[in-house]
């Protein structure tokens, strides 16, 4: 195998076409975070983005997109922003993983949402996690029946709140694939507020993430697009979502809602209506990603799997990286595994968010503040 490392933006038309061909040939790769369009967009914004082009006498056999940080530390493309990464290749391609790292000039590669079971990385997987999906291949009605079987009480409650919101706030309608940048800004402002309220890091305080979201919103081809949905009560937006899709799969990314309407559970109402719109648009699946949100358990009708793990070559930087990351990853896994610990951690973060918000409100009135400029 010959491995050549380039920036995604340097790939020619034939190479990009080959990437799409390989992705479409393997159902496990049907995720927009694995698409060449996402890699090229990331490359325009971040100078540490690379892709290893793997070929032999028959031509290109695979692509390995990644980030190369200081001291040879390798990270998945998009890092904490994405819910899937891996090798885009012919089926069953197996490389020497450490030789791949050597060619990529990496001392270590740490992954947490890798497509599970890829032969090159399988022996380095330390854990495999379920990622629940809404599967519409048997039709929307079959999916909603599965949701009802999963939790009839939850579905009944959400449908009641849906009707109540329509009566009290105005008829509900869902806009699918909105191209309006103002609608996106509304959603991102809600998301920034959610991050701050719940004690999380505001992704959209970083201008490049705002720019990435705007770039993805402008993408609209049959194979790759940004999909913005918004639920309205009358003419008022109450909940929305921005995600990415391939021809058949939509991936959850940035959901948010207006807290003024929290009593109606607008986020879940939106998810139900978004699912119907996605099915009507010809999509086969909504990938909700791994994570500790309880609503995913009763909305799911199928499961994908992603792997966590680490590959390293002997070096001082790999040793330092291990000391810094491994204990944190283990602690996170323990919390995510135990609902009681997850809820406790969530309460602590929300408490921190309330304190921070209170302190901000007590700042002098002439303090300069910056409005949220982005989403997640």
Q: List beta partners, residue 110.
A: 310
Nearest residue to 89 (alpha-carbon basis) of 58, 127, 46: 58
What global pTM score does this model have? Answer: 0.85
pLDDT (average), residues 142-169 = 97
pLDDT (average), residues 323-349 = 49
| Interatomic CA distance for residues 155 and 333, integer angstroms | 29
Rounded percentage of the chain residues whose pLDDT exceeds 70: 83
Q: What is the DSSP letter of 85?
A: B
Task: Work out the angle at residue 212's Cα, subtended by the Cα atoms of residues 206 and 214, and round it to the nearest 5 degrees.
Answer: 110
| Interatomic CA distance for residues 240 and 186, integer angstroms | 9
Alpha carbon 264 to its chain centroid, in Å, reads: 26
What confidence score (pLDDT) does residue 89 get?
98
Is 330 a residue whose pLDDT tops 90?
no
Is 174 a residue whose pLDDT tops 90?
yes
DSSP letters, 225-272, are: EEEEEEEEETTEEEEEEEEEE-SSEEEEEEEEE-GGGGGG-HHHHHHH
The backbone torsions φ and ψ at residue 236, rounded to the nearest 5 degrees and listed phi first, read -100, 125
pLDDT (average), residues 350-376 = 39
What confidence score (pLDDT) does residue 348 get?
44
Is 360 a residue whose pLDDT tops 70?
no
Is 80 a residue whose pLDDT tops 80?
yes
pLDDT (average), residues 76-91 = 96
Alpha carbon 5 to its chain centroid, in Å, reads: 25
Is 366 a residue whose pLDDT tops 50?
no
Is 278 a residue whose pLDDT tops 50?
yes
* Residue range 213-253, pLDDT digits in tens: 999 999 999 999 999 999 999 999 999 999 999 999 999 99
Half-sphere exposure of residue 332: CA atoms within 13 angstroms, side-chain side: 11
List the alpha helices (DSSP H) in the chain. 13-25, 36-45, 97-103, 140-150, 152-169, 181-197, 207-218, 266-280, 295-299, 316-337, 339-361
Label residue 345 by pLDDT band (50, 70, 90). Answer: very low
Contacts of 24 by beta carbon, 8 Å cutoff, 6+ apart: 30, 223, 247
Among 11-25, 95-109, 311-325, the range scoring the smallest mean pLDDT is: 311-325
What confidence score (pLDDT) does residue 315 get?
57
* Residue range 180-189, pLDDT digits in tens: 999 999 999 9
The sign one gets for the Cα dihedral 198, 258, 254, 375 is negative
Pairing mode of beta strands 88-89, 59-68:
antiparallel
Residue 357 burial by Cβ neighbours in a 10 Å radius (0-12, 13-18, 19+):
middle
What confidence score (pLDDT) does residue 320 get?
52
């Amino acid at each position: 195998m010959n491995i050549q490392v380039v920036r995604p933006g340097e790939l020619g038309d034939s190479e990009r076409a080959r990437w799409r061909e390989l992705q479409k040939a393997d159902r496990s790769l049907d995720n927009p975070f694995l698409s060449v369009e996402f890699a090229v967009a990331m490359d325009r914004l971040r100078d540490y983005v690379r892709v290893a082009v793997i070929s032999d006498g028959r031509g290109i056999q695979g692509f390995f997109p990644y980030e190369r940080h200081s001291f040879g530390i390798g990270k998945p493309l998009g890092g904490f922003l994405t819910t899937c990464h891996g090798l885009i290749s012919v089926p069953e391609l197996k490389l020497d993983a450490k030789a791949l790292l050597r060619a990529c000039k990496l001392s270590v590669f740490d992954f947490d949402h890798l497509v599970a079971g890829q032969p090159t990385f399988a022996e380095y997987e330390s854990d495999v996690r379920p990622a629940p999906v809404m599967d519409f291949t048997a039709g929307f009605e079959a999916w909603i029946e599965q949701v009802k079987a999963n939790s009839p009480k939850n579905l009944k409650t959400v449908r009641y709140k849906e009707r109540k919101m329509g009566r009290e706030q105005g008829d509900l309608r869902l806009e699918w694939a909105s191209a309006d940048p103002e609608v996106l800004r509304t959603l991102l402002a809600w998301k920034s507020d959610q991050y701050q309220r719940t004690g999380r890091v505001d992704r959209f305080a970083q201008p490049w993430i705002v720019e990435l979201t705007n770039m993805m919103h402008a993408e609209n081809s049959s194979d790759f697009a940004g999909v913005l949905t918004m639920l309205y009560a009358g003419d008022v937006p109450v909940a929305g979502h921005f995600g990415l899709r391939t021809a058949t799969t939509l991936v959850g990314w940035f959901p948010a809602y207006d807290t003024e309407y929290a009593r109606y559970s607008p986020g879940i109402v939106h998810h139900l209506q978004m699912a119907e719109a996605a099915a009507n648009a010809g999509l086969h699946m909504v990938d909700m990603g791994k994570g500790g949100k309880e609503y995913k358990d009763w909305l799911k009708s199928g499961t994908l799997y992603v792997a966590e793990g680490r590959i390293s070559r002997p070096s001082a930087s790999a040793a330092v990286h291990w000391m810094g990351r491994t204990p944190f990853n283990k602690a996170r896994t323990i919390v995510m595994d135990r609902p009681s610990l997850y809820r406790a951690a969530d309460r602590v973060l929300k408490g921190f968010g309330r304190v921070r918000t209170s302190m901000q409100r007590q700042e002098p009135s002439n303090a300069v503040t910056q409005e949220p400029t982005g989403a997640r």
